[in-house]
Amino acid sequence: MFYLTADFGSTYTKLTAIDAEEFRILATSSAFTTIETNIMDGFYSALKKLETKLGKLHYDRILCCSSAGGGLKMVALGLVPELTAKAAKLAASSAGAKVVKTYSFEISHSEQIEIKDINPDVVLLCGGTDGGNKEVIIANARRLSEIDQDFSIIVAGNKSASYELEEILKSSGKDYVITDNVMPVFNHLNIEPAKQCIRDVFIRKIVDAKGLSEVQQMASGEIIPTPLAVMNACELLSKGTKNSPGIGELMAIDLGGATTDVYSMASGKPIAENVLVKGLPEPFSKRTVEGDLGMRYSLASLADELDMDCLGKEIGIDSQDIFQWITHCISNPDAVAATGSRELQMEEILARSAIELAVERHCGIMESAYSPMGIIFSITGKDLTEIPYIIGIGGILINNPHHEAILKGALFKPDKKNSLRPKSPKILLDKQYIFASMGLIGTLDPDLALHLMKEEININNNN
């Protein structure tokens, strides 16, 4: 059995050829994603490179995922920030969507205009536990129906409001679906139904919008969002199969051209004793996506977050030169820094900075407060200080000789003790960029995918 997998990324299209009988990767290749012309041009260019290595390819199945054009752009609405709004964001992120903005309570007129300007592919509408507040979700449904944009609406809120919501959305003419509440009872998450609906919308609507209909016709199964494929791979690597154990808790960082995605497969329970946990319970498998932190399309917004003068001094390069490189990369997303060049130094410090910010946003926060009994510590989010592995994913890391130094941007910092980042993990690398591919293969042959991932990151398959 021969598999071919295709990952249509925002910058590059990656192909992987796999021999399932011999449990090995035959070869990989990549080409610039041609979203502005025909996405298949990039595919055939990558295929030609692959066949240069292997000869004419005859594969039994082709499996595909995509984040081309920035992936699935989403906004999420909930009732209160720390509850249903956060639950909505978790559901969206875990399904592979790029959550551009979240809103809480009833949206205002200015927020209506903002959503129209964002022009999302899909809106996740939540709010209220079952039997609880339904006025907010109904009001938000009315306001969404007034927005003159062609987006799909997934309703995952208070089931008591479902009749009124269906009447409002049906009369609006918008594409919509009503599914189970993301938080049916207080502090209890139920994100799987919403996650499945997001995936269905991707397949039904976004595939055509991004020019992937021809890809879907030749694929052996449904195209899924690339981040969902990576999430599936990370879960498989962490938990293992009935025939082979996984490697346990891990963090994976996918540094891309448009976003930086962070995955943690971990309980995230506090390491210290007598620490109060605040907020919603964190899922074992968590993804956060930072749409403003990317190495090509989002470089301008990354630069806005950084002290460029400070970065320039650190590497001995004037900040104006860094800005010039950023401008060049935004205009030429396929730009590659030469080995040993000043541009490579700039790439490295920008990549490390993107990882620092993304991991800080992903990890939990510890806070202290005084009480009559002394200082009380509380944690919001995951405690990831004891994570044993960090796995780097993405072309910037794979093609850089100093990938380990870049990934150290994810580590715990003494000057930011409240950020619960990993302290002393082993740093590993997805050397051939196969994790999305393995997330696809894992749906058909999880033992094969697990074996190849362990081999890729140099973890003994006998473990």
Domains of the chain, residue spans: 1-69+212-222, 72-205, 250-429
| Residue 425 tokens, joined | 């993990």
Question: What is the reported pTM?
Answer: 0.84
Residue 194, sorted as left (phi over 0), alpha (psi -120 to 50) or beta, turns out to be alpha
Q: Give the span between the Cα atoms of 271 and 384, in whole angstroms.
A: 9
**Quick one: which of 92, 66, 386, 398 has its CA closest to 229?**
66
User: Which CATH code, of 1.10.10.60, 3.30.420.40, 1.10.287.3510, 1.20.58.1030, is assigned to 1-69+212-222?
Assistant: 3.30.420.40
Pair 41, 12: CB distance under 8 Å:
no
Amino acid 34: pLDDT: 77
Amino acid 327: pLDDT: 92
Q: Give the span between the Cα atoms of 244 and 26, in whole angstroms.
A: 23
Which residues make Cβ contacts (< 8 Å) with residue 283, sequence separation at least 6? 90, 94, 189, 191
Instruction: Look up tokens 């990989």; give the residue.
Output: 28
Superfamily of domain 72-205: Flavodoxin domain (3.40.50.360)
* Same topology between domain 1-69+212-222 and domain 72-205: no
pLDDT tens over the chain, length 463 residues: 899 999 988 778 899 999 999 999 999 999 988 777 778 888 899 999 999 999 888 888 999 988 766 667 889 998 877 776 777 777 877 776 778 888 988 999 999 999 999 999 899 999 888 899 899 999 999 999 999 988 999 999 999 999 999 999 999 989 999 999 988 988 788 888 988 888 888 777 666 656 677 777 888 888 888 888 999 999 999 999 999 999 999 999 999 887 889 999 999 999 877 788 887 788 899 988 887 888 888 888 888 899 999 999 999 999 999 999 999 998 888 888 888 899 999 999 999 999 999 999 999 998 887 777 678 888 889 999 999 999 999 878 988 889 999 999 999 999 888 999 999 999 999 999 999 999 999 999 999 999 999 999 988 765 4
Sign (positive or negative) of CA dihedral 31, 37, 39, 40: negative
| Residue 133 tokens, joined | 């507040």
| Residue 141 tokens, joined | 């449904």
Amino acid 70: pLDDT: 60
| Residue 323 tokens, joined | 């800005």
> What CATH architecture is 250-429?
2-Layer Sandwich (3.30)
